[in-house]
A and B are shown apart, each in its own frame.
Chain A
Amino acid sequence: MDSGPCRNDKVNFMAAKVSTKEIRQLVIERIKTLSSGRKISIGSEGSFSKEELIDHVKTGDKIGEKIVKVQMNYLRSFKLGFLKDNKK
């Protein structure tokens, strides 16, 4: 079951309407490709393996939302152009 702050939102992703559920699935697929043995440290939240991250994304908790934000930021950067043009 979906949960989290933007459960039923529709977002404009690369000119297409994509549901939060679809975005989460996309992020999960991306996380699945993370090399085994690697962990991601997210500040004081802790360090997470890909399996743990996938669980967090599925749950839609704070860590899951953060990782979705990071991955979507990267994907959006293709549209906006990398580096100089993309500095916030």
Chain B
Amino acid sequence: MKKGSFLLTRPDHEPTVSYLFAWAEKVLKSSQKKNIFSIDLPGKEANKNKFVSSIKKFKPAFIFLNGHGSQNSVTGFDNKPILSFADNEEITRDAVIYALSCQSAKRLGKSCVSDGARSYLGYNDDFIFVFDENSAGELNKDQTASYFLDPSNDLAESLLQGKTSGTAIEISQSAFEQSIIKFSLSDATAEERELLPYLLWDWQHQVCLGDSRAKCEFISEEEYNKQRVTKFYILISIIILFIIIFIGFRFLR
């Protein structure tokens, strides 16, 4: 298995994606703590051009998409598609993808796997979450949203820890289950019970497509830079060799 980087997209142009933006930052911080070479495409940088060029340049082992979605696409800033069915899904070849977006596992995810993605984790219907309006400004501290977005982060964190796609989704499912069971008990508060339909919905529609044994190995920034320097020296050596051969030929004639 080839080592790769970690790439995440997180637009922030409206309230729903701003929540995903804030929660994905926790995953980013965690990846940086693990010294994983991480490529962050926040806000306006979450666009198709940057996304495609970053994948080509940094060859991520794990792609974490945050944004709106449909059966056919996952979007970035301003709801513009960055990954679409029958368009650019082949760029996900050899990667593990987790899309925190609506419905994309229904068609796009299957297509990514057919085109060589190792696994595609996501949702085959809408991802619904409840949040507290009064948490504006401190979105990542919203206790209500945490019941939905923490299980999602557990999935991404598990992949960053090198766990398999199957294990990562089990961990996430288990986090959803814990809340569902807890809020179903008689001592649950009304505020907790009212979250149940939405927790159950997300839990039911979270899926893993492709190889459930697929896991990621990550490269550090130092390793990446070292590889670039090595490639540079190899290129210089080849050029010098060609020059020597060329001069030698001229000298012999």
Contacts and interface: CB of A to CB of B under 8 A. Distances in A.
B215 to A, nearest CB: 23
Q: Give chain A's interface residue range (CB within 8 Å of chain B).
A: 20 to 34
Interface string A41-80: 1111111010000000000000000100011011001000
A66 B69 CA distance: 16
A81 to B, nearest CB: 12
Contacts, number: 83
Nearest to B103: A43
B68 interface: yes
A37 B191 CA distance: 11
Nearest to B75: A44
Contact of A44 (B68, B129, B190, B200): B68
Contact of B127 (A30, A43, A66): A43
A26 interface: no
B191 A41 contact: no
Given A43-B128, A83-B177, A83-B180, A38 B144 contact: yes
B119 to A, nearest CB: 18
A86 B128 contact: no
A33 interface: yes
A65 B163 CA distance: 38
Interface of B: 15-16, 19, 68-70, 75, 79, 101-103, 126-134, 144, 177, 180-181, 184, 190-191, 194, 196-198, 200-201, 203-205
12 contacts: A33-B190, A35-B194, A37-B132, A37-B133, A37-B134, A38-B144, A43-B103, A71-B197, A74-B196, A82-B184, A82-B200, A86-B200
